[in-house]
Structure 1
Amino acid sequence: MPLTLMNTAKTTTGKGWQPQVFAYLALLTLIAGDSLFAEDYIRPNLVWSVWLVIALTSLAGCIYFLLKADWFRVLRQIPIELALLLALMIGSSPWSAYASDTVSGFIIQIGVTAIALFFAAVFSWREILKIFANAIRIIIFGSFAVELFTSSFKGLLPKLVSGVDPAIEVAFAQSGHLFDGGRIQGLLGNANLVAAWALIGVITFAIEIGITKTSKVLSITSLAASVAMIAVSKSAGIIFASVAVLLAAVVSLLAEGKDKQTRHRYYRIAWSFAGVAMFFVLVFRRTVFDLLGKSPDMTHRSDIWRRVLSLISQRPLEGWGFTGVWVPGVKPYEGLVVINGEAYYQAHNAYLDIWLQLGAVGLVLFIVLLVRTFVKTWRLGVHHSNALYLWPLLVLITQLVRGITESRLLIQSAMMMLILFVVKSHDPEELLEANTTSTKRDRLEKLSKRPITRMLRR
């Protein structure tokens, strides 16, 4: 049974444990899909077969409970740019260089969209945060458990998974660095994926501490574990995303309750600071990345981007056709990026990747969708007195910044979260929790003065 971490949830449907079961199952399946698609594409073997069965089961349950909820309301909340983007994904099949893969990629995308609509229709923001919090705990503590085991019994786990799947064998062969200072791969077998979820965990557990009225011991422990996971996963992209999240959190707290002129002054200062910081990183990138233990080209990303831009230049308007992830063995992706004998199957930039696949029209629709969603979640986070509503804003910023160095925003859990935020940020005010006269800053100040022992008792 899922842990009950919060109360006073405002639901949009009747209560019941069954929708929560499918929510956890769907979310964890998407996260597992992130890991699988990071190394390979769907193939007829045991691992993929099990994943597909679980994915189809969870999808069927999500669709069932979506249809029992106020599904028509969430359909009306789909903005035109999202509808057009989805239409373009399947509409690109006539000129796609890989039409069958475009169709299969679109089918996967529709499944991801259905899961996002299920979350938006069935659960309140508070319930969604609880579901994500418990799922992230599985990732974080499970990752430490895997690394502890592989570090203590080096070579044993790779032998246990030998013959299961080549990608899984490689992933676990790279684990076991908890005590030697190397990058840990964790439960997902990928340091960047684990780091991204750790940052989302920091956001989630920090907000959970602020809005939970019961004991905060689990939230505080989870927050500390997430911070530690970011440190040991050593992902430069997540370090930059963490800075962006911190800046957004500070500005949103300062702007709450202020008049329009003051808010906009804060925004101008924040954007100026961000611009100067980006300029500094670009000019002194060698020094900055040396400090982060990375190469100045961000681990070959500049080379990857040059090759992707060269491919884009051949079809700048219409793109090569939607596929989500690059499919191994399919031209033009097969052999496009091979560095030191290792093949790469993503552009390592979500914005270049969407341009590559859907052309300039798709890129414009995608950017408009992101900007509108950012504005909606920003207004929700700033104008509402409950810290709960900072969660979609800060998680969205994580994904937007992460999209600069990774293409994961276009697939599986990241795309599901994006569509969830796109749709649910349009919820009418009566579905939100009540505003209060005290601001988030007031409650944060009170919380900071409370002894830690008292927080653990409550």
Structure 2
Amino acid sequence: MTERTAVAALREFAGSARFAQALTLIAIGLAFSTHAIRSLVGWPGLLAALTALIALCGVSLVARWRAVEWYGILPLTILVFVGWCAASVIWSATPARSAAGVAYLVAFTVLGVYVALMRDTIQIVRAFGDVLRLLLSVSLVLEVLSGLLLDLPIVFLGIKGDLASLGPIQGLFGSRNLLGFVALIALLTFVIEWRTKSVLRGRAIASFILAAGCLVLSGSPTTWIALGAALVATLALYGLRRARPATRRNWQLALISTGVVAVVLGWAFRVQIIEALDARGEFDVRLDVWRELSRYLNTNPLQGWGFVGPWPDRIPYTWIEVATGRPHESALNAYMDAYFQVGVIGALLLVALVGVALVRAWLLASNRRSVVYAWPAMMLVVIAVTSFAESFALLEGGWMLLVVCAVKAARDMSWRDALAVGAR
């Protein structure tokens, strides 16, 4: 084989759909397995794997350059938010840590953009389904091993071995809330797989039971609230997709009004809802963190303390941990986290990013015939609701999922198209 032939073969392999599919699976798996990878090989191993994966994605993009539609590649909301986070390095209280945090955010942004560019929506749903099936299965096996067979915690993974008492369990994800979040998006993904007949019926049923079991055993109150919101959104989409096009706009306006009323009522009866979900302890923890955050927000309300992503062991974050009496990796609220790290401007940019993406995805889901278009809308509903109690939307797999959904929604419907559809 000559050198030219070898180069041509390498280029053909790098530009193949199978290579892009493999990289998509690896990217999703890495993004949602960061806790397990760090536990096994530490930060150096995770960063090395992330760097190698981004390099391979770059090779794949170059090889498939002519096949990619580059117009409208990235929504303006993502560019502005990431740009503002990068600019915060200038005024950050910890500039070196902020630079590292921004680089980490950009890395998962690149992975999200790659997945959205290389695969169509049904392929992305299948990829997420395959990866999450594996991760939840491994999580459950480890919980059975720890809680039933050995009756010992797996300390380095953060598995406490509480399966015998029906949870809460953590699996590969290090916390019950993250496991609940992953189980919920997996549950919705498996439903879309079943509705699109992407997998056999038996596999779809088994996957649904697996995700539902992990969700219940996680014992995460925040996940139950997000599940309720997702179910309401699913019923609303079901009705909209069957409404006559002439009346669809009126139904959309009615849903918006109903949503506003639901939010107001939810806030008014928040105490009763928290007690009904037995989430008083969870809420008190978050309230303590947010109370301490407010003490330092007055110092830098407009621009924040500088983007860092996961909280480092440095001031002012250590001050908050000392005051609350426990370590924290985030503000337990993505919007509050953005407010604290990149100020009111950054928080508004994050709200705009999630909001614009959700509107686009919602209009697509309610107007396109294929049920697969409901997947980005459902994912964004879960992200938007969960972000009130967790910061997953700013971190690793949660951020990558947000980028994937935002990019797919923007490429399938620009803001001009969205306004045109909404005006019909």
How would you bin the TM-score normalised by the shorter chain? 0.7 to 0.9
Where structure 1 has 5 or more consecutive residues not aligned to the other structure, the ranges are 1-12, 40-44, 162-167, 430-458
SS in 2 for 1:187: helix
- Opposite residue 61 of structure 1, the aligned amino acid is L
Equivalent runs, 1:212-231 vs 2, <5 Å: 212=197, 215-231=200-216
Q: Which residue of 1 aligns with 2:53?
A: 58
Question: Quick one: percent identity of the two aligned structures?
Answer: 24
Query: Alignment partner for residue 150 of structure 1, among 146, 150, 156?
Result: 146
How many residues end up aligned between the 2 structures?
A: 399
Cα offset, 1:50, TM superposition: 2.6
1:335–1:343: 8 Å Cα contact kept in structure 2? no
Where structure 2 has 5 or more consecutive residues not aligned to the other structure, the ranges are 1-13, 414-424
1:63–1:114: 8 Å Cα contact kept in structure 2? no
Q: Which residue of 2 aligns with 1:84?
A: 80
Q: Which residue of 2 aligns with 1:383?
A: 367
Task: Give CA-to-partner distance per residue, 1:50-84, whole Å, 9 cap, x none.
Answer: 32222222222122212333487447332323222
Return 180-189 or 67-76, whichever deviates more: 67-76
Cα offset, 1:36, TM superposition: 7.0
Matched, 1:267 2:255: no
- Opposite residue 370 of structure 2, the aligned amino acid is N
Equivalent runs, 1:29-428 vs 2, <5 Å: 29-33=30-34, 46-70=41-65, 73-74=69-70, 76-156=72-152, 158=154, 168=156, 171-172=158-159, 174=160, 176-212=161-197, 215-256=200-241, 258-259=243-244, 262-295=247-280, 298-328=283-313, 330-338=314-322, 341-428=325-412
1:105–1:324: 8 Å Cα contact kept in structure 2? yes
1:322–1:357: 8 Å Cα contact kept in structure 2? yes
1:66–1:121: 8 Å Cα contact kept in structure 2? no
- Opposite residue 121 of structure 2, the aligned amino acid is W
Cα offset, 1:289, TM superposition: 2.5
Distance 1:152 1:46 in 2: 27
1:309–1:352: 8 Å Cα contact kept in structure 2? no
- Opposite residue 125 of structure 2, the aligned amino acid is L
Distance 2:356 2:287 in 1: 29
Distance 2:234 2:181 in 1: 17
- Opposite residue 385 of structure 1, the aligned amino acid is R
Cα offset, 1:261, TM superposition: 6.3
Cα offset, 1:280, TM superposition: 4.2
Are the structure 2 counterparts of residues 317 and 181 from structure 1 closer, same or farther at C-alpha, using a change threshold of 3 Å?
A: same
- Opposite residue 66 of structure 1, the aligned amino acid is L
1:93–1:322: 8 Å Cα contact kept in structure 2? yes
Distance 2:36 2:247 in 1: 44
Distance 2:55 2:45 in 1: 16
Equivalent runs, 1:13-24 vs 2, <5 Å: 15-24=16-25
Distance 2:23 2:254 in 1: 44
Distance 1:222 1:46 in 2: 29
Taking structure 1 as the reference length, the TM-score comes to: 0.81
Distance 1:261 1:16 in 2: 40
Task: Give CA-to-partner distance per residue, 1:407-426, whole Å, 9 cap, x none.
Answer: 11111111111112222223
Distance 2:82 2:324 in 1: 36
- Opposite residue 57 of structure 2, the aligned amino acid is C
Distance 2:113 2:78 in 1: 13
- Opposite residue 406 of structure 1, the aligned amino acid is E
- Opposite residue 348 of structure 2, the aligned amino acid is V
1:381–1:390: 8 Å Cα contact kept in structure 2? yes
SS in 2 for 1:179: helix
SS in 1 for 2:280: coil
Task: Give CA-to-partner distance per residue, 1:81-109, whole Å, 9 cap, x none.
Answer: 32222221221112110000111111112
- Opposite residue 69 of structure 1, the aligned amino acid is R
SS in 2 for 1:315: coil
Taking structure 2 as the reference length, the TM-score comes to: 0.87
- Opposite residue 25 of structure 1, the aligned amino acid is I
CA RMSD of aligned residues (A): 2.5
Q: Give 1 or 2: higher helix fraction.
A: 2
